[in-house]
Amino acid sequence: MKINRGRILITGGAGYIGSHTALQFKELGWEVAIVDNFSRGNRDIVARLALPVFEENIGDSAAMERCLREFRPDAVMHFSAFAYVGESVTEPRQYYENNVEFTVNLLNTMLNNDVGAFIFSSTCATYGVPASTPITEKTPQHPINPYGRSKMFIERILEDYDAAYGLRSIVFRYFNAAGAHSSGLIGERHAPETHLIPVAIHAAVEKKAMAIFGDDYPTPDGTCVRDYIHVADIADAHARGASALLSGSNSDVFNIGNGSGYSVREVIREVEEVTGLTVPFQTHPRRAGDPPALVASSQKLREQLGWQPRYPSLRSMVESAWAWYQIDRENQGHGFN
């Protein structure tokens, strides 16, 4: 597939998936600018990308108007969002404000400034508890937490905006992002850090028990099953999607996953093998909002956009997460409990 390049504005470019994608677009020769208000993004990580940054809130229409006028992007790629499933259950207001209201503001500002291409970070959390696996893009969406609902609402709004205003979009539904950039320059750093792989690595290093949230799910070993996907492979899908939009493709929706499910216990075992350490854990009650198993079919992404994961093995994801943990630990504090 021929890769087109253009000017792309990346919201949430100081976050985990946003920063990896921004770096990949830069390496591919795109003109990239980032918007981030640093409420959850990392200043020092984004500084390493050496890209222009607008420090603005996407909910501020006047500020977004200035960004669009100054940078004149061909497309906007929208990563900025709150993305903790558990927090969305206790703080739905924040999720609907940030993920829905502010995103609609952004879309309206795009319309006012004739920017007609949008790439949206959606999630497998929009599927809820799927009736069957692997999950395809046609699997009905019945999210079971406010985070998933906030993303699904935007997907529906994008359909309406395309029909009425011709705003074309590519929606990517990510499964579980993992790993770090191969250079060691950037990686995953959340505060708080709640994601399984970094939490398990931290537990191993600190010799402090982590929680396994539930071992009574209807899965082979009773713990939740997820489809882990390397962040670099997510970034690559975005390059293909953005390129397709710039060549005039229609709006579309794609899953991004590997098609292999790993249980929490299997991930913990992988972390033990990669680090050579023991991961101490205790079994806790289920975490609110967790579906038992989420595994993707990414056949559509492979067939239509020619995507192929470069790092499909769980081993490669855990290895790069472990390498990054050791780099980042020396330089920065961590959001671990």
What is the helix (H) or strand (E) element at residue 174, kind and residue range? strand 168-174
| Comparison of 163 and 191: residue with beta carbon closer to ligand UFG | 191
- Three-state DSSP class for 259? coil
Size of the site for ligand UFG (CB under 6 A): 20
Question: What are the CA-CA distances from residue 158 to residues 83, 103, 106, 119, 276 (Å)?
Answer: 19, 10, 12, 10, 46
What angle, 0 to 180 degrees and rounded to 10, lies between the N-to-C axes of helices 264-275 and 196-206? 50
Cβ 210 to ligand UFG shortest distance, Å: 5
Q: Does 287 interact with ligand UFG (rule: CB under 6 A)?
A: yes
Residue 289 token pair = 């909002």
Choose between 11 and 109: whose C-beta lies nearer to ligand UFG. Answer: 11
34 binds ligand UFG (CB under 6 A): no
Beta carbon of residue 193, minimum distance to ligand UFG (angstroms, whole number)? 9
Q: Is 78 in the site for ligand UFG (CB under 6 A)?
A: no
Convert residues 105-124 into a mask of x (bound to ligand UFG by CB under 6 A) and - (unbound).
------------------xx
Of 204 and 224, CB closest to ligand UFG? 224
Rounded distance, CA 221 to CA 332, Å? 36
Q: Which stretch binds ligand UFG (CB under 6 A): 29-37, 159-167, 245-253, 286-294?
A: 286-294
Question: Within positions 194 to 223, which residues make up the interface with ligand UFG, using CB under 6 A?
Answer: 194-196, 199, 210-213
- 147 is annotated as an active-site residue: yes
Q: Do 249 and 326 meet the contact criterion of CB atoms below 8 Å apart?
A: no
Residues 6 or more apart from 208 whose CB is under 8 A from it?
202, 280
Smaller CB separation from ligand UFG, 210 or 237: 210
Q: Which residues of 278-312 are buried (b: 16+ CB within 10 A; e: fewer)?
A: ebebeeeeeeebbbbbbbbbbebbeeebebebebb
Q: Which residues bind ligand UFG (CB under 6 A)?
A: 83, 85, 123-125, 176, 194-196, 199, 210-213, 224, 226, 264, 287, 290, 294
Give catalytic residue positions. 147
